[in-house]
Structure 1
Amino acid sequence: MLSYKHEPFTDFSKEENINAFNQALDLVNSQLGKEYPLTIGGEKIITDHKITSFNPANKNEVVGVVSKASKDLPEKAN
């Protein structure tokens, strides 16, 4: 069994930590608003109906859009 341990705090007085943090933010921001298909049985499926996920802290910012499954699509998983 794995035990929980605290991660050390990041020292943001160090330039390399600030740069790493900013690069991570840039990566996440570059992925905002993308559309993602369903994956059923290894097949990527894009449907006409979508579910849009919004940033709860900024209701105008789209985190991502996913295709919404119909009642028939789960049958493809068998």
Structure 2
Amino acid sequence: MADGDTELEARLVEQEEFEPSEEFVAQANVSDPAVYDEFEENWPDCWERAAEMLDWDEEYDEVLDDSNPPFYEWFTG
């Protein structure tokens, strides 16, 4: 900045918004309260089932490594 007369110009960046289809919304939201109960009871297994739906570059050996609290590590190995 060469002098005190420098002006800052604010620019509004427009972003288009796309609403998801009703079909996508219906499958993306949890509608069964039993799912929450299952996560409460056995959440590492639930996360493992969720992880199986993803494509991984490298396989993991363990869902949750809790051997060094509070430094927990997820999907290790």
Question: Which band: TM-score by shorter chain?
Answer: under 0.3
**Structure number with higher helix proportion:** 2
**Looking at both structures, which has the greater relative contact order when contacts are Cα pairs under 8 Å and sequence separation is at least 6?**
1
TM-score normalised to structure 2 length: 0.23
